Structure 1
Amino acid sequence: MTDTIIQRLEQEPIGKLLLSYATPAIIGTIVNSLYNIVDRIFIGQGVGSLAISGLALTFPILTFLQAFGMLVGAGASARVSIFLGRKENEKADHVLGNALILTCSFSAVTIIPSLIFLKDLLLVFGGSEQTIPYAEAYLYITIPANFLATLSFSYNAVMRASGYPTKAMIAMLIGAILNIILDPVFIFALNMGIQGAAIATVISLAVSASIVMSHFVRKSSIVRFQRKYFKPDWKIILGILSIGMSPFAMQLAASLVNTLLNTSLIKYGGDLAVGAYGIINSFGILLVMLVLGISQGMQPIVGFNYGAGHNDRVIEALKLAVILATLITSAGFFCSFFIPEFIVRAFTPDPELINIASNGLHITFAAFIIVGFQMVTGTFFQSIGIAWKAMLQSLLRQCVFLIPALLIAPLYYGLDGVWMASPIADILAAVVSGAFLVWQVRELKKTPGQIKKM
């Protein structure tokens, strides 16, 4: 790691440092979300309401596949930050080489079965004769391209963690802008419908992935691919997986929740309710990606300073990230409360779908103010290598709180009960996150070096 980057991470004021790291990360994560959001807007306006519902059916499958990318990407980026903070650059290179081995292995064992059993999976996820054809047309193209998505998004996080936040942002921007340009070309000009959206996404991912991966083969890069580190090292692999397990578990739980959501929406609201969830989810993703950008900007700062033993800077970065994240989720809450119809109309002109989605948006985001705090807390624990706490928070929110709420609330409130499940889970999960964080910060203040691990 160059002396300039080390000096910045160790000495530059936290506010300025977080701004410089979080801004590119925010732009990058927003750009990431635009892949899906732009697809839904063009499909909703150009193909129809049922096409949005079909696209919503793809969430559980794509979320499941993306979980393995997050398992590697989150674990590798956190490990790279910690090793660079300890001035152990060769170990950081070793992490990168083993991460690529994991990516290739996981892609092989997940993509092929997903394609073989695709129709059966869509039936389980709440698909109907009207919506499954749209989902199949999209997924038969995008599932094989999940390998490109992992290379683009997961290794973008490693690039950012190794001291190149602006370059990571540019790589994401190029792919997203290309997707925005190609979507109307394939959907409207070439009249390819939902398949056109999928093809546009794949081309854009391929371009973004090539930019990201080319960074790690250059000798000038702080962390880079080296042939000698492509040999599996189980200690390194377990180190990656131990930290990445938290976002992985969260993604798997999200896939399970999406499946339960789709079946509940079909039962209490029909195909249009599934489409309404797709719209609500798009708005939520945009806000979550903003918070994720702040968290990702915080991650290398916390990871490096934790590795270097600068606990006061770790706490300062954490506090500032929580404040910024809460401001974003508060803005999301107020928009969902005061202008839900304005948001929904961007995705569809269908009056019935607008009505269903507006009501769902209003209820779903009732406790969204506290979500930013939860997300930053999870990233904080990943950044300092205490992954089990981040994983436990995620599992409690998704499985222990959200799933029972999805099963019980609709029995009394119908479709409104489905929407109510999210704020119920958010409130309960925030209590747990707060308890974990208060204890951990106290331990951090008591120790001059690394945090005591429970």
Structure 2
Amino acid sequence: MNLKKLFSGIFTSGAQSLTEGSIPLLLTRFAIPYMVANLLQALYGAADMIIVGQFTDAAGLSAVSIGSQFIFMINSIVIGLSMGGTIMIGRFFGAGEEHEIEDTIGTMLSLFVILSVVITALLLVMIDPIVDLLGTPADAFEQTRGYIFINAAGIATMFAYNALAAIFRGFGDSTSPLIFVAVACIANVVGDLVLVGPLGWGAPGAALATVCAQGLSAVLAVIYARRADYRFDFRLKSLRIKKQKLINLLRIGLPMAVQFSLTGISFIFIMATVSKMGGVAASAAIGITSKLNGFTMLPPMSFSAAIAAMVAQNMGAGKPKRARSTMYSGLSISLCFGVFTFIGLFFFPHSVIRIFTPDPALIAATALYLKSFSSDCILVCFVFCLNGFFNGCGKTAFTMANNIFSAFAVRVPATWILSGIEGASLFSVGFAAPLASLQTIAFSLWYLRSGRWKKGR
């Protein structure tokens, strides 16, 4: 069966211009497969928590919670740089400067090869200090170490998948990444069921399943990309760095990479703070919330990425008004999802948490945290859509500064202060995230009204 035809009529397929036609329709057709792809990615991330939670104890869940938060921080670097590639490719594609695309792709892939080797070596050498620094409870230390070690050894697969997805999306193709992440999701769940279940490898088994699944997805994506028309032959001789393309890629992508990774670090600080306050149960509760958050944030994250790609093409084509209208359309749609997820997490938290663990104590602790945290489901719709707009305009330095300030001047201090209040609970700590989002929105609205996003190319 031709999977591309299966999705046609609903999802965007192949290279496509986003500079003409109905904005809501194009945006939705681009965002839906992106959202489904992220949903599947969140599913195979949550599969680790769910399957480990069913076959092990709180220590295993804590290991996956802490380890996955750290790996997410590393993945954030990859995502940020790859989004820079998407924006550059989208700009060139929208401007009709397709001769620049090959050099952009070659530079991005070459950079990713170098970074994957360097990061893998550093993580493997520093594995024990890293696990200590994360504030890992003693009961979960060995499983956390194994989880991070295996993910670090296979980090090249993470770079490969994100690079290929960035190329596809820069051309307006959001269907291909969906297909390949679906393959990874199925492979990861099967791997988890075998390695964590019958073989009893716990958290390290879940990590191995994830690495193998990502590797399979990346290989299939390369095979497809070499046969399709994506302006690059994916041969070793074509992997070369062009100085100006590298400068532009780092100028656009590095701020997002720094922003995402430092935001990840801020959540690691929160995890460590909460672990000291409530031990293994508290860290597991934060971990479960993190996985739930991966699902609730899917619509705004997906529309943010769709907005960035569509805005990049329209700014490249000299259509700033259409670019701004794209942001408003994406915000309106994502808010519908935000209100729905808030209602579910605020009023029915226990039903959702039981998917991850049958432990009554963990369910109660996580539900307490969600009661205050859930309002962020609405606020992040504004945060992500505004960020997507500014990123598409190439103003990634502003989004970086705004989100880093939010993380370290609001979220981390608020967590520390709220957890230190006499009689503090996970309910009070949960207000830190919404407070940070409010600050981010305020600064973003000021920047939008200033008109500075229109300046420069």
Partners of 1:187 and 1:197 within 8 A in 2 = yes
Paired AA for residue 252 in structure 1: S
Report how far residue 89 of structure 1 moved.
Answer: 1.0
The aligned counterpart of 2:103 is 94
* Residue aligned with 2:416, SS: helix
2:253 is equivalent to residue 244 of structure 1: yes
Correspondence for 2:344 among 298, 317, 335 = 335
Which residue of structure 2 aligns with residue 424 of structure 1? 435
The one-letter code matched in structure 2 to 1:232 is I
1:222 Cα deviation (Å)?
4.1
- The Cα offsets for residues 57-111 of structure 1, whole Å up to 9 and x where unpaired, read as 1144313321331232011111000011111112111111010111111112211
Give the aligned residue type for 1:414.
A
C-alpha change, 1:278 and 1:381, in structure 2 (3 Å) is same
CA distance in 2, matches of 1:419, 1:7: 42
Please give the secondary structure, in 1, of the residue aligned with 2:153: coil
Which residue of 1 is the match for residue 188 of structure 2?
179
Aligned to 1:410: 419
Taking the aligned partners of 1:437 and 1:42, their CA distance within structure 2 comes to 44
**Are the structure 2 counterparts of residues 95 and 269 from structure 1 closer, same or farther at C-alpha, using a change threshold of 3 Å?**
same
Instruction: Return the offset for 1:221.
Output: 2.5
Which one of the candidate residues 159, 165, 168 is aligned to 1:150? Answer: 159
Of 308, 312, 318, which residue of structure 1 is paired with 2:317? 308
Residue matched to 2:396: 387
**TM-score normalized with structure 2 length:** 0.91
Q: Is the 8 A contact 1:93 1:226 kept in 2?
A: no
1:53 aligns with 2:62: yes
Q: Which residue of 2 aligns with 1:130?
A: 139
RMSD: 2.1
Q: Tell me, what secondary structure is at the counterpart of 2:276?
A: helix
Q: Structure 1: how far apart are the matches of 2:120 and 2:80?
A: 16
Identify the residue that residue 24 of structure 1 maps to in structure 2.
Answer: 33
Cα distance in 2 for residues equivalent to 1:110 and 1:281: 24
Instruction: Give the whole-Å Cα distance in 1 for the aligned partners of 2:262 and 2:136.
Output: 20
Is the 1:386–1:453 Cα contact (8 Å) retained in structure 2?
no
Aligned AA (2:130): L
Give every structure 1 segment of 4 or more consecutive aligned residues whose post-TM-superposition deviation is greater than 4 Å.
Answer: 4-8, 226-229
Residues 409-418 or 360-369, more deviating: 409-418
**Matches for 1:36-435 after TM superposition, within 5 Å:** 36-218=45-227, 220-225=229-234, 230-412=239-421, 414-416=424-426, 417-435=428-446
Separation of aligned partners in 2, 1:163 and 1:301: 8
In 1: Cα distance, 2:98 partner to 2:163 partner = 20
TM-aligned CA deviation for residue 453 of structure 1: 4.5
In the alignment of these two chains, the number of paired residues is 443
% identity of equivalent residues = 22
* Between 74-83 and 102-111, the greater mean CA deviation after superposition: 102-111
Q: Give the gaps of 5 or more residues in structure 2.
A: 1-12
Is 1:35–1:176's contact at 8 Å kept on the other side of the alignment?
yes
Choose the corresponding residue for 1:436, options 423, 447, 454: 447
Alignment deviations for residues 361-420 of structure 1 (CA, whole Å, 9 cap, x no partner) = 111223331111101111211111111111122112212211221222222252334322
Q: TM-score, normalised by structure 1?
A: 0.92
* Secondary structure at 1:221 match in 2: coil
- Equivalents in 2 of 1:44, 1:227: separation in Å? 42
- Contact 1:333/1:365 (8 A) holds in 2: yes
